[in-house]
């Protein structure tokens, strides 16, 4: 097995690409009782148009298929549900769908190999019928309506609508009631057979394991599959401008919530180590601008303009890249104005002492993630889907200088690329 390691934090990851194309990553953690496994496929909500590797047929699927497929994978031909089976073993199991991948996971202290049997059985043996697909449409339809009434989710989706015109990231991960009505067993099998091929999947395991022994156990449970060429995904061209600068809706909220976004329109297909450096620099800048220890946060919080510590996020892939700053305020436009002023102030030059302090804080956040087997496994999977080595965030840390961070500030935090999404309180008549 190939070994990658971080000399800084004394952690190792063992990586093997099997003959069928499956990538297995094992991160041993001695003297820990918890074991965590996550098996992901590079198939998310943005993958709604592709060319099938074997037939070269171009396929355009309804919105929400990746999420629908995730829900259906647990149902077995014998009438059992794999989530129930895992819970009966005392195992905490779950699954999720994102913009770029779908994952099945569990955490346990005991019965790991019994759990592995179930996980590898249900992920490799889909069972879709007209009846069970129709039944699921009702369940997911209710979930979609629930999210339609969720202010936080609508805030996020409206922010995506502001930043992107055609990009599929603006499509709800679950789709719509209308789009899922078009899903059939044939659509699900077509997507399963394309995207759930081992060559498009990654398995990450973290816990007190001997990597070679665990790898043999995984191999034993794999169903042989014919090789498959790379899936050609079709996306709209990368948009160089925002779609609209502002969107506002009224919902049942006690205080308005806001999301200020910056669309990053630089080349997204850079080399991977450069993406990591940029990500580190952006995290430093967000903390300097409006993080909990920043002057601007203290000013806004003490004046009552900002009601809580804002959420700071950077989302990126080859197809999209943006920053989101979210929080609660009675005057979101005032927050945006003061943030823009702070950005212009920082563009005159970062203070070395402040830069070093926040840089150490960001590094500490990275190190803390290695305390949890779940955090480690999820991180390695999400990064692998972006073709990033998770250890690079530790190893590239020293290469992020004040001067480099100032360049990122000028290139990414531009006034013409800023948007504001607001969910405000309904006006009572």
Q: What positions carry a catalytic annotation?
A: 70
Residue ranges in 291-351 assigned as alpha helix (H): 295-302, 332-346
CA distance readout (Å), 183 to 44, 67, 71, 173, 191: 16, 11, 13, 14, 11
Torsion region of 396: left, alpha or beta (phi above 0 gives left; psi -120 to 50 gives alpha) = alpha
Q: Are 188 and 70 contacting, i.e. CB atoms less than 8 angstroms apart?
A: no
DSSP states of 51-65 as a string? E-TTT--EEEPPTTH
| Residue environment code for 249-261, b if the CB has 16+ CB neighbours within 10 A, otherwise e | eebeeeebbbbbb
Q: Name the DSSP class of 372.
A: -
Q: Which residue(s) pair with 316 in the sheet?
A: 321
Q: Are 282 and 412 contacting, i.e. CB atoms less than 8 angstroms apart?
A: yes
Residue ranges in 149-261 assigned as alpha helix (H): 151-163, 177-180, 185-195, 211-220
- CB neighbours of 55 closer than 8 A, spacing ≥ 6? none
Say how far apart CA 63 and CA 78 lie, in whole Å: 29
- CA angle (395, 106, 200) in 5-degree steps: 65
């Amino acid at each position: 097995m190939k070994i990658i390691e971080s000399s800084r934090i004394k952690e190792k990851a063992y990586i093997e690409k099997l003959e069928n194309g499956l990538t297995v990553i094992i991160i041993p953690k001695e003297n820990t009782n918890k074991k965590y496994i996550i098996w992901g496929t590079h198939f998310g909500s943005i993958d709604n148009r592709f060319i099938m590797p074997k037939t070269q047929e171009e396929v355009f699927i309804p919105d929400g298929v990746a999420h629908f497929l995730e829900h259906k994978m647990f149902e077995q031909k014998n009438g059992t549900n794999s989530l129930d089976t895992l819970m009966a073993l005392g195992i905490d199991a779950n699954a999720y769908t994102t913009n770029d991948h779908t994952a099945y996971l569990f955490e346990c202290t005991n019965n790991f190999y019994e759990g592995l049997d179930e996980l590898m059985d249900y992920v490799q043996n889909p069972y879709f019928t007209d009846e069970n697909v129709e039944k699921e449409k009702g369940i997911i339809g209710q979930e979609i309506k629930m999210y339609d009434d969720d202010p936080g989710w609508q805030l996020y989706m409206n922010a995506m609508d502001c930043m992107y015109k055609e990009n599929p990231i603006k499509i709800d991960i679950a789709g719509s009631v209308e789009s899922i009505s078009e899903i059939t067993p044939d659509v699900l099998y077509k997507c399963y057979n394309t995207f759930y091929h081992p060559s498009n999947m990654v398995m990450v395991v973290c816990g007190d394991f001997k990597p070679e022994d665990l790898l043999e156990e995984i191999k034993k449970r794999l169903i042989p599959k014919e090789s498959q060429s790379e899936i050609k995904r079709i996306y709209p061209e990368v948009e160089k401008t925002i779609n609209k600068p502002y969107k506002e809706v009224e919902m049942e909220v006690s205080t308005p919530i806001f999301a200020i976004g910056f669309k990053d329109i630089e080349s997204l297909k850079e080399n991977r180590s450069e993406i990591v450096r940029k990500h580190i620099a952006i995290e430093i800048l967000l903390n300097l601008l409006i993080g909990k220890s920043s002057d601007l946060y203290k000013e806004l919080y003490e004046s009552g303009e900002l009601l809580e510590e804002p959420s700071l996020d950077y989302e990126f892939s080859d197809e999209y890249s943006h920053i989101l700053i979210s929080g609660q305020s009675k005057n979101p436009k005032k927050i945006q104005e003061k943030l823009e002023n702070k950005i212009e102030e920082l563009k005159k030059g970062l203070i070395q002492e402040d830069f070093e302090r926040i840089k150490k804080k960001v590094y500490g956040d990275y190190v803390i993630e290695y305390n949890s087997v779940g955090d480690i496994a999820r991180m390695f999977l999400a990064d692998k889907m972006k073709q990033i080595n998770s250890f690079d965030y530790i190893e590239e840390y020293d290469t992020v200088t004040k001067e480099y961070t100032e360049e990122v500030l000028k290139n990414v935090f531009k006034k013409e690329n800023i948007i504001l999404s607001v969910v405000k309180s309904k006006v009572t008549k």
